Amino acid sequence: MANMSLEKIKMPEQAPDVRNKNFEEVAMGYTAEMAMEEATRCLNCKHKPCVSGCPVNVRIPEFIAEVAKGDFMAAYKIITSTNALPAVCGRVCPQESQCESKCVRAIKGEAVAIGRLERFVADWYMANCDEMPEKPAQNGKKVAVIGSGPSSLACAGDLAKAGYAVTIFEAFHTAGGVLVYGIPEFRLPKAIVQKEIDKLSAMGVEVMTNMVIGKVLSIDEIIDDMGYDAVFIGTGAGLPSFMGIPGEALVGVYSANEYLTRINLMKAYISDYDTPIRHSKAVAVVGGGNVAMDAARCAKRMGAEKVYIVYRRSEKEMPARLEEIHHAKEEGIEFHLLRNPVKILDDGNGQVCGIECLKMELGEPDASGRRRPVPVEGSNYVIDVDTVVMSIGTSPNPLIRSTTKGLETNRKGCLVVNEETNQTTREGVYAGGDAVTGAATVILAMGAGKKAAAAIDEYLKNK
């Protein structure tokens, strides 16, 4: 008999007023007992609606059945047959709009905690079966992978398993993409990402950091001079947007990318590191996505007394994961919803002293189906802050497309690919992840990397 509890087994978490002062993981993960009990909530539905909600079709009821039996190894094998990064996805997927949104248990009560179970299985594997993979027999062909975010890691992993000699070229000094420079330690411990990279190294993947492709080497040189048989471009969508409002050049205005990179990649929160960061008392973060929540929660942890989210639509329209919005509120972040910044104020010495906002109302739905915010004339007010973090979106960096012949991009600067194969408009050159879709999700990027790996294998087998 299935467990008919309407609620998920609660996730143990650090208390809000403790965790908002440290960078340790907020959610501490299920114990084996909790996982097995939660697993009994799954009805093992014949038509498996949850699976269709997962972008990589993790065989959800099958792995959950193994968890219920206590065979975590079997569960791990099922998950990793379609998902290369379960420890990451279990933590950061927007489950409420993907797998869990389709779960029949969500019709009445809460969905089965698919994400938490996935995370449990991955963590269990890491803690108990710490075996490194072996280097597979080589097939004599070479593939270059540009960037080292989730799309590249997944692509490199599958290609390495198939016997290709893979080299990852990463611009930064550390591999991992957004997983290391953007998403904070308290949501995704960097040791997990490092483990994935170590596994790739064990399979023979060469990781070359400090290589900005388009500058130090072009894609053409990688193919023509260095003899790579195919290339995968997984360079993400890292170019930050600014609003173009007065005051954005003041000292104290950051892009979320800069703010998060200083804190996460360059560890400004650990005193052993030399990375300077502004010691803010009051911070306004403009935006409503995961990036904005991460920036706000980092600001709090760095010691800011007041942290505000300023978002131009209502909470319902916020693109951030539900859990992050919930956690942010618990940690004392204040939400100014339906508010749009119009100006950042100068204290007279070129430093930020406030942000002027305009109130908004929701009007008719726009092209995206979300109700369009319209300004309320004369409703301006000022929030006193000494730091502003702009988190209003990013787009693909033009460096690769502007230095590679024959790579077509769309209006938004995203690489154009064949949907079946993820091949770009150039033979032998594939792409995936945010570089193709614009800023999206880890699981979509990972899925694209796997799809491209399969297509590259097919292409090179026949070449």
Partner 1 sequence: MFRIVNKKELNSAVTLLEIEAPFVAKKAKAGQFIIFRVDEFSERVPLTIADYDREKGTVTIIFQKVGLSTKLLAAKEVGDSIRDFVGPLGVATEYDGFKKVAVVGGGVGCAIAYPQAKALHELGVEVDVIAGFRNKEIVILEDEMSAVSDNYYLMTDDGTKGEKGFVTDKLKSLIEAGNQYDAVIAIGPIPMMKFVSLTTKPYGIKTIVSLNPIMIDGTGMCGGCRVTVGGEIKFACVDGPDFDGHQVDFDELMNRNSVYKKEEADLAEKHICRMDKMAHDLIH
Ligand X SMILES: Cc1cc2nc3c(=O)[nH]c(=O)nc-3n(C[C@H](O)[C@H](O)[C@H](O)COP(=O)(O)OP(=O)(O)OC[C@H]3O[C@@H](n4cnc5c(N)ncnc54)[C@H](O)[C@@H]3O)c2cc1C
Q: Candidates 111, 166, 178, 299: give the one binding ligand X (CB under 6 A).
A: 178
Task: Indicate whether 171 belongs to the interface with ligand X (CB under 6 A).
Answer: yes
What's the rounded Cα separation, in Å, for the pair 83 and 103? 19
Q: Candidates 20, 95, 98, 148: give the one binding ligand X (CB under 6 A).
A: 148
Q: For ligand X, which is the closer residue by CB, 26 or 358?
A: 26
Asked whether the CA dihedral 59, 60, 65, 67 is positive or negative, the reply is positive
Q: How far is CA 188 from the centre of its chain?
A: 10
Q: Candidates 133, 240, 332, 393: give the one binding partner 1 (CB under 8 A).
A: 240
Q: Candidates 53, 55, 157, 234: give the one binding ligand X (CB under 6 A).
A: 234
Q: For ligand SF4, which is the closer residue by CB, 113 or 389?
A: 113
What's the rounded Cα separation, in Å, for the pair 146 and 232? 6
Task: Indicate whether 457 belongs to the interface with ligand X (CB under 6 A).
Answer: no
What's the rounded Cα separation, in Å, for the pair 368 and 313? 13
- Interior angle at CA 203, CA 200 and CA 207, nearest 5: 45
Work out how close the CB of 354 gets to ligand SF4 at its nearest, in angstroms, rounded to a whole number. 40
Work out how close the CB of 46 gets to partner 1 at its nearest, in angstroms, rounded to a whole number. 47
Residues between 10 and 69 that touch ligand SF4 (CB under 6 A): 42-45, 48-50, 54, 56, 58, 60-61
What's the rounded Cα separation, in Å, for the pair 330 and 324? 10
Longest CA pairwise span in the chain (Å): 69
Q: How far is CA 351 from the centre of its chain?
A: 32
Characterize the bridge pairing of strands 334-337 and 306-311.
Answer: parallel
Residue spans of beta strands (DSSP E) within 92-240: 142-146, 165-169, 206-208, 230-233, 239-240
Stretches 102-110, 187-195, 328-336, 340-348: which one binds ligand SF4 (CB under 6 A)? 102-110
Work out how close the CB of 293 gets to ligand X at its nearest, in angstroms, rounded to a whole number. 8
> Which phi and psi (to 5°) does residue 242 adopt?
-115, 165
Task: Indicate whether 207 belongs to the interface with ligand X (CB under 6 A).
Answer: no
Query: Which x/- pattern over 196-235 shows residues binding partner 1 (rule: CB under 8 A)?
Result: -------------xxxx--xxx------------------
Work out how close the CB of 25 gets to ligand SF4 at its nearest, in angstroms, rounded to a whole number. 17
What's the rounded Cα separation, in Å, for the pair 13 and 45? 30
DSSP letters along 41-53, please?
T----TT-HHHHH
Task: Indicate whether 440 belongs to the interface with ligand X (CB under 6 A).
Answer: yes
Q: How many residues bind ligand X (CB under 6 A)?
A: 42
Q: How many residues bind partner 1 (CB under 8 A)?
A: 40
Q: Where are the alpha helices (DSSP H) in 380-433?
A: 399-403
What's the rounded Cα separation, in Å, for the pair 458 and 463? 9
**Binding partner selected for residue 58 from ligand SF4, partner 1, ligand X, none, CB under the kind-specific 5 to 8 Å limit:** ligand SF4
Task: Indicate whether 89 belongs to the interface with ligand SF4 (CB under 6 A).
Answer: yes
Residues between 86 and 115 that touch ligand X (CB under 6 A): 92-93
Work out how close the CB of 278 gets to ligand X at its nearest, in angstroms, rounded to a whole number. 13
198 within 8 A of 109, measured Cβ to Cβ: no
Residue ranges that bind ligand SF4, judged by CB under 6 A? 42-45, 48-50, 54, 56, 58, 60-61, 83, 89-90, 93, 95, 98-99, 103-105, 112, 114-115, 118, 443
